[in-house]
Structure 1
Amino acid sequence: MLQYQNQQLAQKLDAQRSEIHALEDKFNQLKSKQTSFDETLISVNRCWKELVDDLELLAVNAHPDGTTELPADKCRSVADKPDTSSVIPEETFLQRLVRSSASTEGDTLDAALNSRRASTVKTMSYIVQVIQSQRAKHDELTSMLKNQLSSDVAGKALQKAHDDLLVETQSLRTAMEALHLKHKEISSAMTAMEDSRLKDRAEIGRLTGKLLEDTLAELDTSRRKLAAALRNQKDLPPGPPTPGAVTKEPGEKGGVYKTSKDIRDLEELLERTKALSECRLVDLQEAHQKNLNLAEQLRRLQDSHIDEQRVISSRPYLLLQDQLKFFKAELDRCQANAERFQAERDSALRHEKEVSLKAEAGEAARRDVAVAESRITALEAKLQQCMADRDDLQLRVEELNQLSGRKDTVAELKLMISTLHKEMGMMQLQLNKYKDAAHEVCSLRADSHSMAAVLERKKFEFKNLSKKLADQAIEADVFKEEIRVLKESEQELKLILDMYEKESIESRDILEIQQSECRARAQIQRLQEALDEHSLELRVKTANEAEAACQQRLAAAEAEIAELRERLDVSDRDKMELLETIKAKSEEGDAYISEIETIGQAYEDMQTQNQRLLQQISERDDYNTKLVAESLKAKQLQTSLVAEKQSISGKMQLATSAADLQKQRAARFEEQVRLQLDQLTKAADETRHSNSAVEVARRKLAEAEREVQSLRSALEVSDKELRERGEKTNDVLVVLENERFEKKQLENELTVLKTKHTTAQENALVEKLQEEVNKYRTLLKCSVCHDRQKEVAITKCLHLFCNPCIQRNLEIRHRKCPGCGVGFGAGDVRHVYL
């Protein structure tokens, strides 16, 4: 029966505990919500207080002249609400307990909030009114200042004269800048013309100097050759006519005909050159006239610039400038005096406003005293309530002290918990050892992967080296082929040159030509063999050196690959060993983990039991500590309220003393206002004196303007004289330029006549040279078709023909040279570029 009752009681206890846990969870949730709400309320209250303080400060600083009062009483009454920002969220329970009797004050709280809102609205409207009044005062002051300035006639005259002088100086500056720009443009045009003239002179000198000397030297050499040929022809003995002599007579007749034709052509060319020279002469005259016009404009601009500089550096101009500076200094002094008087007036107004401000501050202090008295009464009522709450808490603490006990079970549970902690520490150490071994295995795996990557990189480098070696070999072959082709073309060109030299010499006979050709071929073959041997030796040397370097690189790469493979094998063996050890360690770890899980389950069961017991004990201890803390806080609150009461009484005394001081200050400020008014009257007298000084300065300015006008008229007269002199000098310079130009024209005509004289002497030499040119042109044409130019050479006989003729001959079965009949093949044909 007892067991049954015990079971029922245990079930009831469990049910009560579960209900208690649920209620505690709800309580914690509500507590967290309450803390968040308290924090938001605290932040809102702080922001509202800051807003109210800022508004009051603005209202105090505004110090309006009207009769609107500062609505600070309602703001203060609401702002004096107890601040919970300094309370810890866990200690809000005590405040709620303290204010439990004040639950009927919900309506009063709403009323306080409404009053607070209304007070802030009033302060805002008050500040708006102050701003509007300040704006109106500002507008009045500006209108007064404008009226005062409009009445000051002397200041207006000075300002007008100053503005006129500024406009005049600005116009002078713009004119000077325009003149400078024109001067720059004209100077740039003059420099360009001078450069072009110098270039033309250099070109004429070059044509008349070097080229003329070269042509004259060539003519002298050709004349000497012609005279030598004529002497040789005269020295020949008379006899039977040779074939060469027979063929020369018609050639000489044709030469005479050609010379007459060339003379006509030269005369036509001479006429054309005359026409061109006349056109060029006309262009030169126009350019010369433009140059003269530009020079005249430049001189005029320079003269005007010199006149302006002379005016600026003249003594009357400097005197006027000094007077202008003096008037400017006087004007600045008058403006400084006016600003000083304005500043004194502003300071007097500021002092007056400060006096009114301080009077308003005294009234605000009186209101604060009244608010503090009302707050003292409220705090006394709260103090009585706290005393009653303290007595109730003492009774509850005594009841809870009787129920405290059972501390022996707590020590036993602490011992069991310490032993379990030690066992768990041992198991944790073993697990750390196994983890370290696993980390070492991972590091070895990473090393093996890095070695494999290095091996692959070395293989890739080996492949790249082999590719580079092959590319270099291909490039060497290409270079060899190009060198061979270039040498062949060089040899062919040398052969062609030798052949032309041999054909141009008419005094040799056919046998000598053939012997010289054989000697030349033998010499060419010897030179070609020597050159081939030398080039082959160089190529072999370079190829051997490159091959040796590549072999060394290959050997080094193979050695590195072998070393890397050995390292990879060693790392693979280490990897296998470590894998085996990891498997063994993992099995041991699984066994240990299973043991740890069983121990952990037992430890969790024990811990749940311990937690239940500890929760019960902690609940009782918390309840006891809460009661003790609440009692202590009640005592602290009582002492703080007493101290606050004393401080408020002290503040009251200070406020009364401050009010007396404010009254004394108000009297002092009234005296200062009287003194400022006296100073204002003195400043008005000084302004009258300054107006008289301004009138004197205006008279001096008028006299200076008259002097400036007289100086301007004198400057205009001097400008006219300078312009007349400049025009005369320009006319003289134009005459000089015309004479120089006529002299140059005469020199050019003299040079033209000299060239005509020399060309008449050069006609015979030109005819001879034309004949030689025609002979060389016939030599360059193909001897088969006589139309196309020689393009191809046969290496066996070294005869030149055009490409179509040789291609036609190659299509025939029996290929023979058209000139000598020697057989040849397609490989014996080479292209020649003449």
Structure 2
Amino acid sequence: MDDRGNRKRRLAEDTVTSGPVASSTAANGSPAPFTPPSNKRQFTGSGSSSPMNSREDTENMTAAEGVLLNFRKEAIWRQIQEYKREVARAEDRIIRLENKQVNHDSQIQIVDLYWNKLLDDLESLISRFSIQIDGNDAISKEEGSFASMLLRKSDSRNQGSDQDHEQDQEIRELTENAIKPSVEETSVRSKDIVLKLLCIVENWVEQRSDFWAGVDSPANDQQSSTVQQLSEECKNTAQEFKKGQTEINHLQAKYHQFTEHVLRLKNELEMTKNRIRETEEELDEWKERLRRVESNIEREKKMSEAGALSSQTGAMSTISLLGDLNGTSREELLYFRHQALSRLTELEEMRAQRSQLQEELDKTRAQFMHLSDEKIQDSQYVKSVLVQIQSARYDADHYRSEVQRLRTELDDMHASRRRFVDTLEAEEKNRRATLEADVKKLENDIIRVRDSRDRFQQMYESRCNKDEYEMQQNQEIRKIANTRKDRITALSSEILRLQTMLTSASDDPMSFAFYLKDPQDKEALQDLRAKISEAENQLATLGMELESSREAMQQSRDLESVNASEAQLKEHVEGLTAKLANLDRLVGSEADDEVKALVATVEAKDEVIKRLELKIKAHKAVQAPLLSELHTVANAWDQLEKATSRKAIDLAQKDDLIFKLLSDKTRQESKCSNLVRAKEQSANMTAVMKRQSTMQQDQIRRLEEREKSLNQQMVSLEKEQTVLTSEAITHKIKLQEYTQLNSAFKEKFTKQEERLTGLQALLKGRMDAYENESTARKHLLEEAESMKRKIEENAKKSEGAGDSETVKQAARYLKLLKCPACDVNFKSHVILRCMHVFCKSCMDKQMEYRQRKCPTCRENFGAKDVKEIYL
């Protein structure tokens, strides 16, 4: 592309220097090439060069100049606005493309892997078309080709089978250290070679276009038949070559697919191995967990048996059992957490290894992409892959046998687990039955205790009511006793008073001194004396009371002695009366005064005696009721003392009974609280056992589900393994078929290549002759065009000086509208990168090339940077 632009510039400069008129500078800043007269005729529509036609053209140009400029300005303004909108959309698109660039960068590695194949194709093209390239740019260099180096090393390693470890080490070193610089070098060299090839292809396309243009001219009609034959042969050969190339590409693609499928099968086999290993680990884990569960169940059984002996020991066993459960659950959680962390680290390591293996596989795939099928089949890697496939089959058979063994073990474990579950259920039922019986016994004891408590409560309440009634009775008795005591004290004081009166009446100083010891008694005596003198009428009654009181107080005296004394007194009184009668007879009115006084005293004494007798009778009449009353009071007092003592004894007994009842009540309440606590503990124990049984059932259910899922996975893995083995066999058969087809296609390709080399030699000779003729024809055409330009310039010189300016302006405007690349067509398309405008044909030619550059400023642009404008 650069050669063609430079050649056109040199041709334009030669033509300008040959003529007197210098070409003006274009509006866009690029040197406008010289416009030949033939092209101008196409614009004006006339083949003559007369001054009248040119003057009309200039007048039309001057008249349409303003309209054209305005239209151009408006079109440019609209296009600029559209460019701005396009720029905004382009910025958004650039942002999206930047986001996509990350994905494209990941695909660049895949593109680099196919450089070796591209280099092989370029080598074949160079060898077919005999293109001369420098030695530094040679593609197939044995020293610089990394694939050839690997082949040589692989061939040298095939000789010794005891160097497998060294082979792996060398391959790893090559993949890590040598592949990056080799790929970079091959990419740089391949890019340079591709650029040179593109330049050569462009030159060849130009020569071909010139050739076909010369063929269309009438001067070369004689050679048309030969050229047509050659072109038909060339087309046939090209079609056959394309067919062979497509078949080769198709076979190579199939081979790549087969290799990828083999690698995929290998990876899947490794994945199945890893899965089987993981299942084995999981089975070991589940065995360990089952062992732990069995140990926990045995421990719980022992604790429950120990807890069934007593309520307190049961409570302690439940607490220890819960502690054991918490400890075991905590240990299991820590174990599972540690196991999860270890699995995460293993997964990360496996991912890193997988990424490394994927990179190594991509590198090896890129290295062996351009190799032939026979070499690949004979290479050490394919043989190692086949050996690995065979070993994988053996491993699969071994794993199948292991799976069968594990299934039998699982069946045995299922049977043992069922037996264990049955025993657990039976023990659980028995334990529940015993616990229920104990609970029923405790409930009966609680009912009995509650009944006794209610009975004692009723007795206590009735006793309290009786005690209140008895207390009231005791209070009444005490009141009666107090009143009686007051009465007795009053009677005793009255008796003392009467005795004092008797003593005072009898004038007995001893008794007076005995009874009257206090000064108050003396005063009472004086009062009595005053009252005796005042109350004569009460003497008889007082005498009788004195006698009765004397007899009552002197209980030791005998009533018979009293009667005897009374009889003696009566006799003495009768004797005295007889004596008095004698004395009266003796001493009457006629007696002396002394006798009369003595008689008076005697009479007074008789009266006193009578009064005393009357008092004695009164005292005797009062003595019996007083004695009976005293006896009743004494009996009542004795009875009251006995009742009070009995009541006190009863109260003490009742207090003791109440104390005993209270102690029994507290003891029964403590026993009832213990029974309630034992019942709660038994209920908690039953709830804990139920919870444990439910947890164990859930654990057994989860283990069964896990086992079912593992069985399903094993079945699916077996199915996948059988499918993979069948697919591997079918792919192996297809690979053999494709190798046979590849050998047949190779034979056909060699024949077609030999035929193509002969046709290329024939075409080369004819192309050399055609190039010589085309160069001579070009020189003649250039000379003719230069002569025509000279003639037109001479004709323009002959015109007037006034018309020269208008012609120049018209030519300048016309050059502004013409394409600067071809100087034939009008401008119709613009490049947004540099804003240079060209025609459609030039843009189409530029779009055909891979590296598109502006013909004016040589700036790169893309397909989306070209837009159509209307001028």
TM bucket normalised to smaller:
under 0.3
- Name the structure with the higher helix share: 1
Larger Rg belongs to: 2
TM-score normalised by structure 1 residue count:
0.23
